[in-house]
């Protein structure tokens, strides 16, 4: 912790003196760079990603409110993994024991079998989830030959970082550039392990993952195919693999970097909601309802801040979450909705990876609340539609601001579109609660973002 703090302070000093604070942050994870790359490929990427989250959260609520939910989503998914070890010296050619240990940590984290769930505060224990996703080293290579799920490739490259602030090339993913070509990314989770240190670095990327997209060539946003992009997968600095690695960086000795990166690979954002490049603050959300809103990354769990006041169920920042930035000795959980999001992505966009899968579209019909557009713009009203098997059911929608103040309440009928008068409201995050008029039962709780 002390070492880490010094590191952060020296970064701040440096960034002020050269005036590029925007680009220098203590980013151990390359997610921001990956999002920026995706936006360059397709300017509508964030819009598409937001709609993906909305669809997933909608499905989550449908299942939660379904009387038949016990039968709707019980499958376990197993994903075949290959580690591509790239080495310039013997230290980087990590021992298989580290990889075996990493697999154990990864599976324990995703299956909530990690012993450190005792670190989870009581307020979050109920939503800490078994994702029912697990990982196994591939036993056959793409040609059908037996394998231990590990390739080893000597390289002349001393590092795959390209500058002192932690930016990197993707050369590790190409045999022709000193790396190793992926195995079919629609069938295997490719994990490249290599040196990401740069001489005299001031910021270090420990790992990065390719977030889901929805088409091989990004030609429109209608296709829902598994990506065949040969860069699909996860990259980790060699010393993050396996617990108690002698070269571990910043006391991250519990092998949780890969857990975090596989979270991104399966669609998760950081808990502080960095969907838009360097954007942060209480108005930027991670798209997941059961992670408390937080202003920025947390680097430790020594403080337990509550950086944003949620109008409903206000809770402190979830430093226990694998998708925050706290050290390995803090993180111990995914939430129920994060777990659902990852399963949703496997069903929709990475369909070749799991051995077993279900089709969420077969979930039976029940009441569904649709807000659109969301995010919306100021000066614009928002539509709300409550779909139900029964016409003319009575519902009440309330809108609540970040301070918990109710702004308005409306009577609504099912299956007919209504307008929420949001045009006059200031930018920010609001909550829309919908309840049955007769019973008072809340059937939907959604965030509405005005920007």
Residues at the site binding Zn ion, with contacts judged by CB under 5 A: 29, 31
- Position with the least CB separation from Zn ion: 29
Exposure string of 19-46, with b = 16+ CB inside 10 Å and e = fewer, is: eeeeebbbbbbbbbbbbeebeeebeebb
Distance CA 253, CA 108 (A): 16
Which CB sits closer to Zn ion, 80 or 350? 350
The least distance separating Zn ion from the CB of residue 232, rounded to whole angstroms, comes to: 17
Which CB sits closer to Zn ion, 73 or 320? 320
Side-chain-facing half-sphere of 406: CA atoms under 13 Å:
8
Which CB sits closer to Zn ion, 332 or 450? 332
For residue 280, the tally of other CB atoms under 10 A from its CB is 18
Which CB sits closer to Zn ion, 29 or 282? 29
Residues 6 or more apart in contact with residue 448 via CB below 8 angstroms:
371, 374, 375, 376, 382, 399, 420, 422, 429, 430, 431, 432
Are 437 and 443 a contacting pair, CB within 8 Å?
Answer: no
Which CB sits closer to Zn ion, 84 or 264? 264
Are 307 and 294 a contacting pair, CB within 8 Å?
Answer: yes
Which CB sits closer to Zn ion, 290 or 324? 324
The least distance separating Zn ion from the CB of residue 235, rounded to whole angstroms, comes to: 12
Q: Is residue 2 packed enough to be buried (19+ CB in 10 Å), middle (13-18) or exposed (0-12)?
A: exposed
The least distance separating Zn ion from the CB of residue 270, rounded to whole angstroms, comes to: 5
Distance CA 339, CA 361 (A): 18
Which CB sits closer to Zn ion, 4 or 31? 31
Report the length, in residues, of the chain. 451
The least distance separating Zn ion from the CB of residue 285, rounded to whole angstroms, comes to: 16
Nearest-10 crossing angle of helices 257-265, 96-110: 60
The least distance separating Zn ion from the CB of residue 114, rounded to whole angstroms, comes to: 19
The least distance separating Zn ion from the CB of residue 34, rounded to whole angstroms, comes to: 9
The least distance separating Zn ion from the CB of residue 322, rounded to whole angstroms, comes to: 9
The least distance separating Zn ion from the CB of residue 260, rounded to whole angstroms, comes to: 5
Which CB sits closer to Zn ion, 32 or 348? 32
Phi, psi angles (nearest 5°) of residue 265: -55, -35
The least distance separating Zn ion from the CB of residue 278, rounded to whole angstroms, comes to: 13
Distance CA 9, CA 255 (A): 25
Structure tokens at 158: 């001393």
Which CB sits closer to Zn ion, 102 or 151? 102
Sheet containing 406-413: give its strands across: 406-413, 394-400, 428-436, 442-450
């Amino acid at each position: 912790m002390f070492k880490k703090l010094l590191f952060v302070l020296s970064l701040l000093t440096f960034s002020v003196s050269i005036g590029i604070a925007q680009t220098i942050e203590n980013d151990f994870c390359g997610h921001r760079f990956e999002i920026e790359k995706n936006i360059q490929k397709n300017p509508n990427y964030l819009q598409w990603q937001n709609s993906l989250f909305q669809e997933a959260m909608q499905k989550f609520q449908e299942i939660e409110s379904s009387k038949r939910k016990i039968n709707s989503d019980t499958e376990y998914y197993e994903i075949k993994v290959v580690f591509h070890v790239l080495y310039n010296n013997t230290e980087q050619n990590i021992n298989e024991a580290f990889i075996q240990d990493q697999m154990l940590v990864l599976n324990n984290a995703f299956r909530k079998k990690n012993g450190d769930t005792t670190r989870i505060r009581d307020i979050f224990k109920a939503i800490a989830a078994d994702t029912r996703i697990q990982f196994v080293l591939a036993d056959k290579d793409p040609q059908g030959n037996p394998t231990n799920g590990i390739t080893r490739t000597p390289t002349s490259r001393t590092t795959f970082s390209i500058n002192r602030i932690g930016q990197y090339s993707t050369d590790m993913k190409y045999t022709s550039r000193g790396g190793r070509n992926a195995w079919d990314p629609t069938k295997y989770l490719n994990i490249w392990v290599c040196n990401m240190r740069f001489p005299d670095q001031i910021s270090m990327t420990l790992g990065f993952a390719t977030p889901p997209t929805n088409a091989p060539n990004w030609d429109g946003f209608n296709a829902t195919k598994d990506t065949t992009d040969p860069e699909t997968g996860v990259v980790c600095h060699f010393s993050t693999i396996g617990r108690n690695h002698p070269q571990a960086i910043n006391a991250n000795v519990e092998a949780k970097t890969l857990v975090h990166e596989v979270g991104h690979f399966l669609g998760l954002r950081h808990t502080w909601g960095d969907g838009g490049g360097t954007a942060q603050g209480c108005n930027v959300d991670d798209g997941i309802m059961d992670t408390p809103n937080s202003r920025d990354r947390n680097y430790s769990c020594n403080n337990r801040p509550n950086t944003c006041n949620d109008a409903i169920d206000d809770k402190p920042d979830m430093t226990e979450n694998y998708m925050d930035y706290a050290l390995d000795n803090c993180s111990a959980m995914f939430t129920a909705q994060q777990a659902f999001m990852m399963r949703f992505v496997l069903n929709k966009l990475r369909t070749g990876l799991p051995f077993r899968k279900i089709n969420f579209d077969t979930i039976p019909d029940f009441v569904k609340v649709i807000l659109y557009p969301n995010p919306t713009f100021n000066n614009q009203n928002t539509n709300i539609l409550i779909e139900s098997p029964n016409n003319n059911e009575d519902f009440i929608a309330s809108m609540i601001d970040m301070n918990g103040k109710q702004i308005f309440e409306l009577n609504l009928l099912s299956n007919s579109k209504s307008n929420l008068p949001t045009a006059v409201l200031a930018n920010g995050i609001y909550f829309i609660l919908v309840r049955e008029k007769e019973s008072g039962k809340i059937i939907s709780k959604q965030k509405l973002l005005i920007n």
